[in-house]
Amino acid sequence: MTEPIKDGVDALRAAVRSRNRTPQALKLTAGDVPGVGLRALEDFGEGKANLTDEQLCTLAKSLLPFGCFDPETRMLKSTNAAPPLKFVTPAPYSPPKDHVVPTNEHGLRMPASEKPQPKKLRPGWLGSWL
């Protein structure tokens, strides 16, 4: 059974351990982190080796596109610095008071006075103008 995740280093270890299950994923991750080879990354995932804070920051950027490693707190944090947006519902629409919809004698809307004309066929095209 794996150990419970207590801090950001443990979360990165678990992510590296999960990447180790596919043959090429860990190799690609090792290429993203300068100064760390494939064997050192495997050892880090198994808990046999430690990485420097700079390597942990680079590894976190590689594995978590919207997260980063904070060396002071040893935790992962979000890189999204924007404050959350407030959800606002728009006010119900009410037409202007002077707006009048044309109607016929039955109180129904009047149909369009002119029907749309069919599009002309383009020369050189069969049965369609597209």
* pLDDT > 80? residue 82: yes
> Measured between alpha carbons, how far is 46 from 6 in angstroms, rounded to an integer?
16
CATH architecture of 8-78: Orthogonal Bundle (1.10)
pLDDT band at 127 (very low <50, low <70, confident <90, very high): low
Q: What's this model's pTM, rounded to 2 decimal places?
A: 0.60
47 and 53 in contact (C-beta within 8 Å)?
A: no
> Measured between alpha carbons, how far is 50 from 40 in angstroms, rounded to an integer?
9
Q: Which two tokens stand for residue 63?
A: 């594995």
> What residue ranges do the domains of the chain occupy?
8-78
Per-residue pLDDT reduced to its tens digit, 107-119: 666 666 677 777 7
59 and 33 in contact (C-beta within 8 Å)?
A: yes
Top-ranked range on mean pLDDT: pick from 27-31, 56-60, 97-101, 126-130? 56-60
Q: What is the pLDDT of residue 1?
A: 44
